Amino acid sequence: MRSSFPADSPLHAFTEAEVQAIFAAGSLRMCVAGEAIVTEGEPGESMFFLITGRAEARLHTGTTVRTYGPGSYFGELSFINPGHKRSATIVAVTDTWLQLLDQASIEKLQQTHPNAIFTLLRRTCAFLVDAERNLVGNLRRRNEELTETIKKLEFTRQRLTQEEETARTDGLTGLSNRRCFDAELPMFMERAGAISTGLALIAMDLDHFKPVNDTLGHAAGDFVLKEVGKILRGQIRKTDLSCRIGGDEFIVLLADLSEDAARNRAESLRAAIGAFPHPGNDQGIRITTTMGGTLLRPGDTVETFMHRADEALYAAKRAGRNRVHWAREES
């Protein structure tokens, strides 16, 4: 009987006598094409030897994971360990004849051909070892793929962070730009309101900047703007924000300061800007700055906060420039 099956089929692991005993212990079953022989997840107590036809093991996703031809068998885990849940659905691809071995069959084989049970156990253990080895290999491969994916995601995150930082930074001075200021101001205001701390907004313009560009050229003008950027970055804290919002216009946000402390910081910035050396010094061109400042007040919106700082800046310009003017409480 064994010789009637393909020489490479699993049935050839048994002797001819064992094959005869296996078929004598079981019963025939016929399944038509498309019929489910066993169903994934159901508890099983029997196994099947495929005599003629072809069957496929399919997961619930519909993926075919194994095929069976004459001389193959499946379901041995449920046969050896009754109640074991089927790991896949086995479907007859063609009209198929099967030899079914139930729990009564295993009792017959234990009495007449116990070596057949031993061979079946050995083959099953080998199958489980191979499955575990494949699982470990797949997990290792998946882990490597996951690690590589994480690396790519981290690279993408860093690149996006850098691109976002570039988009929020003034390319000439290295200060934050108007886009950044518009995004950060509401958050500064919300934080100051939540913890009841002072928040100062200082609007500032450079005085006599146009003659630098007109007389000395734009390279000299760029030098001046860069130096102002260095001064602002060097004299404010990490909790503050300095921005170039266009041309020679700048805004500084000073967090967690009283009005007197904010005034002193503004005066310090004004003095430092007025004192740094630049290409126009030899030609009598002096760079100074005019500032208008205000402290955040209850009920302020972004618009009222900024408007008050702008009004203070205009008042400082009308008063003669190169000074800091602070918005009055009643303004």
Hey, which residues are catalytic here?
248
The answer for residues whose C-beta is within 8 angstroms of residue 202's C-beta and 6 or more apart is: 251, 252, 253, 254, 262, 266, 269, 291, 292, 293, 309, 324
Question: Are the C-beta atoms of 238 and 284 separated by less than 8 Å?
Answer: no
The answer for residues whose C-beta is within 8 angstroms of residue 144's C-beta and 6 or more apart is: none
Nearest to 101 by CA among 22, 190, 204, 161: 22
Strand partners for 36: 91
* Phi, psi of 253, deg, nearest 5: -105, 125
Q: Rg of the chain's alpha carbons, rounded to an integer?
A: 42
**Residue 121: in which H helix or E strand, if any?**
helix 114-167
**Residue 292: in which H helix or E strand, if any?**
strand 288-295
Residue linked to tokens 């063609």: 94
Give the burial class of 303: count Cβ atoms within 10 A of its Cβ; 0-12 exposed, 13-18 middle, 19 or more buried. exposed
Whole-angstrom distance, CA of residue 271 vs CA of residue 2: 103
Give the burial class of 292: count Cβ atoms within 10 A of its Cβ; 0-12 exposed, 13-18 middle, 19 or more buried. buried
Residue linked to tokens 């489980």: 128
Strand partners for 249: 205, 246
Question: Are the C-beta atoms of 295 and 259 separated by less than 8 Å?
Answer: yes
State whether residue 290 is helix, strand or coil: strand
**DSSP string covering 230-247:** HHHHHHS-TTSEEEEEET
Residue type, 190: E
